[in-house]
Structure 1
């Protein structure tokens, strides 16, 4: 085969690389939160508000955009491509938990390490820390539109932040920017959870998943839908 016969393939390869590079650059800028997509009629406990949720989401978008922009200047992958998927979800959740109290003084972050729930009413527990208490809001961030899981079946207020993002486990996927897709909130009962089994050879931690009835409770009180 002559060299000139290879040129079309080379040009096509260069075009594809350029296209991927442009997509990767665009993916560094998260999709902004749409202020028109919030539900003014959603119900909140403990003085939490739509404004507090919206401000926290916007703060995360700003944080992620800044972080990925800086990583790109060092020719490094976006943070979501560096972290394991579950760890990135934890990052989203922990950021939200830390942010909401800035806009809702009635709530504070539970100061007990891995305490439940994540957000507790200010002054309800000594030093605002409790291993396991009935009052407060548990926060979950997930890339999945349903089937949300937790380590235990809990009777609690649960707030779920659903997002769309690339996964570090799928490096060949087309680059897409982070986007919040939905936020839901509901008070779940023990009956709204079911335990997920595992095989005898599995080392996966046994978890509890929200039932369909629990999902309906959450989605009936939606806070944000993109």
Structure 2
């Protein structure tokens, strides 16, 4: 049975999520503050952490940061009552796998968890070596999870790296937001494509510089993006 840690300071949400997760076959542990969440995550193995942003003692951003600093590779889905892109971006940049804005349906949460699990299984099953990729002075090594530019190793989050590899393998092709969402996040429903825009924005900041005359990532207005080389 897969184990899930639910972290939220609203008892009604903890009760609701616990009911639906247990009904779906998960074993649920729940805490209501960030410090307890960090201690639980550090001392026990979980298959998922559902982590609220606004928590007493330690907020969700700090919990996520500390978990990733300890190399704990559990999937994290952040919950936020704010419609604030900055908070969401911080969570994603620090290693959260996804975010959901309250109110949300437990059914959608379960669908996102299923998508993350399916993607993890595919990654473990696929051991075929991928060819290294060169786009201008950008060097990408899929099997080493490394990207270099001008001799500098780029500090990319796992999702940013997956997004870069996917686009580089389809160089000069226009890719829709929905296509990128399906490919990189593996959603099998109509997901929130803003998560794609957030990652594209930060990927641009890391692979492009202000003095570049030609940019790697081009926005195709009303449709999506393409990586040019």
What band does the TM-score fall into relative to the shorter chain? under 0.3
Q: TM-score, normalised by structure 2?
A: 0.27
Highest RCO, 1 vs 2 (Cα 8 Å, sep ≥ 6)? 1
TM-score w.r.t. length of structure 1: 0.27
